[in-house]
Structure 1
Amino acid sequence: MDLIAQRSAPILDAMRELRKRRIVPFDVPGHKRGRGNPELLDFLGEKCVGIDVNSMKMLDNLGHPISVIREAEDLLADAFGANHAFLMVGGTTSAVQAMIFTNIREGEEVLLPRNVHKSVINALVLCGGIPVYVPVQVNPKIGIATGMELEEVRKAMDAHPDAKAILVNNPTYYGIASDLKGIVELAHARGIKVLADEAHGTHLYFGENLPISGMAAGADMAAVSMHKSGGSLTQSSVLLTGPNIDPEYVRQIINLTQTTSASYLLMVSLDISRRNLALHGRESFGKVFGMAEYARSEINEIGGYYAYGRELVNGKDVYDFDVTKLSVYTQGIGLTGIEVYDLLRDEYDIQIEFGDIGNILAYISIGDRLQDIERLVGAMEDIKERYGKDSTDLYCGDFISPELVVNPKEAFYADKVQLPLQESIGRICAEIVMCYPPGIPILTPGERITPEIVEYIEFSRERGCSLQGTMDPECRKLNVIR
């Protein structure tokens, strides 16, 4: 990394120059630096609304960058160790989908774990690709899917020699990492591209004692959520490519779906955040590492909770663990993760990342303080004392991996009928069903609905999970192939 070059921020400099010039706007957006919408100006402030502008010569154009945006992308690539980098303003969803669209065409296979984000499945619905699921194990103590074991990846590649790519969560939402470098070696020996979903892995590029990053492992493409652990604004993201990917073709793919009215607020936040991480990331994430380990130790001292960490690593399905993820199993105090999530928000004014059937995740990043960690630990201790109960009646949290019968595109666009949950058993699902967050599908288009899946959906609803993706807002009915 060129640390001297990394001190610059070309988009930020261009935005500052724009402010100085006091240009009279006869272009969009129509609020004209906020003058046309005083309430918006009052709420967000002139500094923010004043740089909500359209593409112009001095600011470059995201769809075809030739000046400051191109320079910002080059700096991103240097900071992340990639051959090329793209600013993404549609979230990491758009970056993940660009990876799929670049490598998978109608009828072609992609290998992936079942616990992928819904953006992957949605991309396959659009492009007509065929998912081939690599079996994943379930940790019986905490009820979550782990990573892809190298031997299972090998078997899947042997069984599907024509697969074009493999997608790897690096890490999972809970912090579990597969042997990415080993997967890259296996895949490249067979001409298979490796796509890393690093929605939760920005810090892997800048921290120490963490799982290997996608680019360092030799992945062909990586989708990185800068806004999650990297400090940029929500919805801003980065797409990275390696030496075997044509960046100009990727640009064409991105431009198929990305807005032509890219937000300069998002782009300048990426530019500033990249500079901050390149210059101070190692120090910042060292502090994050320390806070997470402290919180993990304190929570485990409470009893009942289980804040898990590197002790899960076995060199196989848990090849490594991202210790900055404060993932906590809650059923030991008789409460589901979603119940603890709700209590923290409603009773203690603490907003954590998510709660599921068995776990919560408190996202710790460069913006956290030690006193915030102590407040969280104190609230969790209080919840145990006030709300804890017997855990014998709680769901065990088995990971359900449905049978894929029809490819997702065919199922999604098929003639369908809506049936009550119980009546849908045995039919083929024609839509996505998921708990959000984390956004991992319970069912995807083309999968067979079983009694166990229906039971899991109903249990999730009873416990307060937000069920999404279905045409029925309450998820009491499912669309199935007629």
Structure 2
Amino acid sequence: MNQHKTPLFTGLLNHIEKNPIAFHIPGHKQGKAAEPTFRNFLGDAVFSIDLINIEPLDDLHHPHAIIKDAQELAAYAFGADYTYFSVQGTSGAIMTMVLSVCNPGDKIIVPRNVHKSVTSAIIFSGAIPIFIQPELDEKLGISHGITPNSVKKAIKAHPDTKAVLVINPTYFGVAADLEEIVRISHKYDIPVLVDEAHGVHIHFHEELPLSAMQAGADLSATSVHKLGGSLTQSSILNLQGTRVSHKKVQTIMSMLTTTSTSYLLLASLDTARKQLATNGFTLVDEALRLANDTRKQINSLNYVYCAAHEIIGTEAAYSFDPTKLIISVKDLGITGYDAEVWLRENFSIEVELSDLYNILCIITPADTKESAGKLVHALKRLDESNTETICGKDVQVSIPDIPLLALTPRDAFYAETEIIPFCSAAGRISAESIMVYPPGIPIFIPGEIITEENINYIHKNIRAGLPVQGLQDETLETIHVIKEHKPFT
């Protein structure tokens, strides 16, 4: 297929060249009625293609023309049988995956470090999560992937499992042995769903981890907007094989998608696919070279450490994306959040995320030696400015154990609840989720029994200034717990 073509974007351009008289939404009508300051900032071109699904422009809910052609080109580029464009982000694509394979009461094997959209999908579907604790990197204090052996054990313990969900790669760029996980799961005819939010680019360079489609997975939700050059909120859902009905996937995707689909987002997916398919290797290769050079410079500092390929070597850390700069600051005696704030206030540098021990910076084709050099310079200053807080001993890192599940997340979400002080909630069943976001990994979810360990871990993150989210009470002083319940077996 000719990957230089952009049928959707070209179709939009052809349409506006005809200068049609619009008596349809959006009401700004190519920006004519938009607020002038905003219109002048964005420019007329943006408003000209902010259109709606009129007949000449196809319909994402029933693609048969330019959208269909664009999705077929994307499927070919990513090695899928079918590709579906998502204007609901990768969260919408992830929820589509889970709802496509799970009915109420069905079991799904998932790593504990899943994104909050997986938890939402489990609540919507009524599925029962079978959690696997991911491997902990004790030096960095981050979770890696799940191992093939842990998946095999979970399947044997729960042979009625309907799906296995894998993160590939993690937010920090670490990938498990996905190909082996797929082989094991398919041996039991269980489909594999992949959260590929942070891996759109890995398909286009052999030095990066295998993509979901390359590893033989059945479905993958892929954030083109994160690292592939499309606009924020635009993603794709890839499908291959016949274990999951492509018609059911299309139906559920449509159910979860606005009928006012953004053609700006759709066009950006079409053009980003073209760039990845025709020039992806070169772009990724340049980013890899810059990332590796930047990492080397960071590791010449005294106390700041940037992880490299030494973190791989296990089934859970099977391969690594070097464009992710995992920068540990714990030996400085500060938290990742402290470092994030310091970089912002002193050098106007914004990082991807911070946690108790690290900051994460991402190198993409948009970065240059100049921008990377500014990061290195800032870290050098940070390294030199914290000599009074340097830790003389190893910092113990930990993550809490997975709480016991007393109710299905769906039953807990809809159960009768009461509000109690959060500090005294140990032993009660949570009706809410709570997480540190980013990355959005649940500390506990609806239906789980709250433990003192959970509470202490959350308070530790709060004291560090990290963004703890999920509770209805934004002060984090109270929590909704189950008033009455009937535990399932």
Classify the TM-score, shorter chain: over 0.9
Instruction: Report the AA paired with residue 69 of structure 1.
Output: I
How far did 1:394 drift? 9.6
Distance 1:426 1:294 in 2: 50
Task: Answer yes or no: is the 8 Å Cα contact 1:77–1:240 preserved in 2.
Answer: yes
- C-alpha distance in 2, partners of 1:393/1:437? 28
| Match of residue 400 from structure 2 | 400
Residue of structure 1 in register with 2:145 after alignment: 147
Instruction: Tell which deviates more after alignment, 296-305 or 219-228.
Output: 296-305
Residues 285-337 of structure 1: CA distance to partner in whole angstroms, max 9, x if unpaired? 00111111111111111121221121111232211111121111111111111
Q: Secondary structure at the match of 2:161?
A: coil
Tell me how far 1:459 sits from its aligned partner: 1.5
Take 2:401 and 2:57, find their aligned partners in 1: how far apart are those partners?
Answer: 47
1:146-170: per-residue Cα shift (whole Å, max 9, x none)?
Answer: 2112111111110000001000000
Q: Which amino acid aligns with 2:165?
A: L
Q: Which residue of the partner structure matches residue 348 of structure 1?
A: 347
1:99 and 1:195 in contact (8 A); partners too: yes
Q: Deviations over 1:33-82 (max 9, x none)?
A: 11112233122111111211111122110000000000000000000000
- Deviation digits for residues 266-300 of structure 1 (CA, Å, limit 9, x no counterpart): 00000000000000000000011111111111111
Contact 2:201/2:227 (8 A) holds in 1: yes
CA contact (8 A) 1:405 1:428 kept: yes
Query: 1:448 and 2:449 equivalent?
Result: yes
CA distance in 1, matches of 2:448, 2:377: 43
- Find out whether 1:194 has 2:192 as its counterpart: yes
Deviation at 1:387, TM superposition (A): 3.7
User: 1:308 — aligned with what?
Assistant: 307
1:5-48 superposed Cα distances (whole Å, 9 cap, x missing partner):
10100011111112211111111111111111223312211111
Report if aligned partners of 2:443, 2:454 keep a CA contact under 8 Å in 1.
yes
Native 8 Å contact 1:402 1:448 kept in 2:
no
Does residue 29 of structure 1 match 2:26?
yes
User: Are 1:247 and 2:228 counterparts?
Assistant: no
One of 2, 5, 13 as aligned partner of 1:16: 13
Please state whether the residue corresponding to 1:7 is helix, strand or coil. Answer: coil
Q: Distance in 1 between matches of 2:290 and 2:86?
A: 30
1:136 pairs with 126, 134, 140, which one?
134
* In 1: Cα distance, 2:415 partner to 2:142 partner: 32
Q: Is residue 423–residue 477 contact of structure 2 (8 Å, CA) maintained in 1?
A: no
Residue equivalent to 2:434 = 433
Any conservation in 2 of the 1:402–1:449 contact (CA below 8 Å)?
no
- More displaced 10-residue stretch of structure 1: 446-455 or 367-376: 446-455
Q: Please, which of 49, 59, 62 is the counterpart of residue 61 of structure 1? A: 59
Contact conserved, 2:139 with 2:397, CA < 8 A, in 1? Answer: no
CA distance in 1, matches of 2:370, 2:337: 24
Q: In structure 2, how many angstroms separate the alpha carbons of the residues matched to 1:233 and 1:394?
A: 42
For 1:45, the equivalent position in structure 2 comes to 43
* Aligned residue runs from structure 1 range 3-402, under 5 A: 5-37=2-34, 38-244=36-242, 245-387=244-386, 389-391=389-391, 396-402=396-402
Q: Which amino acid aligns with 2:356?
A: I
Instruction: Give aligned-pair identity as a percent.
Output: 38
C-alpha distance in structure 2 between counterparts of 1:370 and 1:6, whole Å = 30
Q: Is the 1:231–1:366 Cα contact (8 Å) retained in structure 2?
A: no
Query: In the alignment, residue 9 of structure 1 is paired with which amino acid?
Result: T
Q: Distance in 2 between matches of 1:233 and 1:205?
A: 19
Unmatched tracts of structure 1, length 5 or more: none
Deviates most, 258-267 or 13-22:
13-22
2:31 match: secondary structure: coil
- Compute the displacement of 1:395 (Å): 6.8
- Partner of residue 416, structure 2: 415
SS of equivalent residue, structure 2 residue 378: helix
Distance, in Å, in 1 between the alignment partners of 2:429 and 2:402 is 11
Report the TM-score, using the length of structure 1 for normalisation.
0.97
* 289 and 308 in structure 1: CA distance in 2 versus 1, 3 angstrom threshold: same
3-state DSSP of counterpart to 2:180: helix
1:191 deviation in Å? 1.1
- Relative to structure 1, is the Cα distance of residues 221 and 380 closer, same or farther in structure 2, using a 3 angstrom cutoff? same
In 2: Cα distance, 1:67 partner to 1:16 partner: 15
Q: Secondary structure, in 3 states, of the residue corresponding to 2:380?
A: helix
Kindly indicate whether residue 463 of structure 2 is the aligned counterpart of residue 466 of structure 1: no
Give the AA of the match of 2:141: G
* Alignment check: 8 A CA contact 1:34 1:40 kept: no
C-alpha distance in 1 between matches for 2:376 and 2:124 = 44
Distance of 2:415 and 2:402 partners within structure 1: 19
Q: Secondary structure at the match of 1:373?
A: helix
- For 2:322 and 2:48, locate their aligned partners in 1 and report how far apart those are by CA, in whole Å: 40
Whether the 8 Å CA contact 1:304–1:333 is kept in 2: the answer is yes
Q: Using the TM superposition, name which of 393-402 and 229-238 deviates more.
A: 393-402
RMSD of aligned C-alpha atoms?
Answer: 1.4
Distance, in Å, in 2 between the alignment partners of 1:326 and 1:57 is 46
Q: Is the 8 A contact 2:409 2:447 kept in 1?
A: yes
Quick check: 1:334–1:394 contact (8 Å CA) kept in 2?
Answer: no
Q: State the alpha-carbon separation in 2 of the partners of residues 397 and 260 from structure 1.
A: 46
One-letter amino acid of the structure 1 residue matched with residue 253 of structure 2: I
- Contact 2:284–2:364 (CA under 8 A) maintained in structure 1: yes
Q: CA deviation at 1:393?
A: 9.6
CA contact (8 A) 2:324 2:363 kept: yes
Deviation, structure 1 residue 392: 6.5
Q: Distance in 2 between matches of 1:393 and 1:458?
A: 23
Q: Count the aligned residue pairs.
A: 479
